[in-house]
Amino acid sequence: MAKNIKHSKIKNTGVLFELLVRQITTDTLNGIEKSPALNIVKEYFSKGKALKKELDLYSSLTKEKFASSSKAEKFLDMVLIERTKITSTELKRQKYNLIKEIGRNYSLDTFFRTKINNYRVNASIYQLFEGINSTEVKNPRLILNFRETIVEHVISNSPKSQQEKMIKEYSKQDKSMRLLSYKVLLEKFNEKYGKALNTGQKVLLKKYISGQNQKLVEYLNVEAKSSKTKINAFANKINDKITVIKLKEVSNQLDKIQNAKTPTDSYLTTMMNVYELIQELTNVR
């Protein structure tokens, strides 16, 4: 009888890395200067480690895009060949020690509760990797399903989210894994705003990174409504007509976020700008 290949979130290298990245940020936001998660990443995902090699393969399958299914299929075949070059015993040993180290510093139940991006794709990659390294007879239909899921993702034209781009940048850093720190995670935002994030921006980003989409969208709804009220109040006290028009435009943009059913990167960016605007208007007063 052909064997089914079950997904193990706790052994999925792509999942483990993304959760560690989020934990680093959460630790920093909570005032933990020396994040245990940062030290774990530096130790287990450094250059030359089997985990780093497998992570690079996960990253290539979740980030690379091709225009045709034939190219996507060829690319997947090449990745699978590279995967067979990783020593299985060494990889298993490193995963075992990694999970053990995470358990020493965090509650595993809480750590793995966070939702992640591209979970279905990550799961299919794990199951396909496990399948090609197993000597047991596998269910051919399942193997085909895993391949189809990955290929469909690889030929997708959907844009990568800001967080996905940052994680890709992080995974390339070999010399100094400290680039995974909160400071670097916020670098793009800080460059845009020209200064450190204010309290509202930090809280919003923390909720975004937590991966709890339902709670995030509820928070965005409430914050958009509150921010709209504040901006309208400022607009009623300003005499400059051009400034008033611009504030009204911002207020109208918040209507979409106030009634949003799902969170998007564009909503996050808008709210980050709104928090900055409200702070500037408050300072002017």
Structural domain for 247, as ranges? 189-284
165 pLDDT more than 50: yes
Non-local CB neighbours of 82 within 8 Å, separated by 6+ positions? 57
Q: Do 110 and 27 sit in the same domain of this protein?
A: yes
Q: What angle do CA 276, 281, 282 make, to 5 degrees?
A: 95
Q: Do 59 and 78 sit in the same domain of this protein?
A: yes
* Alpha-carbon dihedral sign for residues 115, 256, 189, 54: positive
Q: Do 42 and 172 sit in the same domain of this protein?
A: yes
Per-residue model confidence as pLDDT tens digits over 72-107: 999 999 999 999 999 999 999 999 999 999 999 999
Mean residue pLDDT of the chain comes to: 81
Task: Classify burial at 29, counting beta carbons within 10 Å of its beta carbon; exposed 0-12, middle 13-18, buried 19 or more.
Answer: middle
Q: Per mean pLDDT, which range of 71-75, 92-96, 134-138, 156-160 is the poorest?
A: 156-160
Backbone conformation region of residue 48, classed left if phi is above 0, alpha if psi is from -120 to 50, else beta:
left
Q: What is the pTM of this model?
A: 0.59
Q: Do 174 and 145 sit in the same domain of this protein?
A: yes
Residue 40, pLDDT score: 94
- Tokens of residue 120, six digits: 């279905």
Non-local CB neighbours of 161 within 8 Å, separated by 6+ positions? 117, 265
Question: Domain boundary residue among 165, 185, 205?
Answer: 185
Q: What is the domain count for the chain?
A: 2
251 pLDDT more than 90: no
* 89 alpha carbon, distance to own chain's centre: 29
Q: Do 141 and 255 sit in the same domain of this protein?
A: no
Q: Do 173 and 210 sit in the same domain of this protein?
A: no
Q: Do 47 and 61 sit in the same domain of this protein?
A: yes
Q: Do 24 and 103 sit in the same domain of this protein?
A: yes
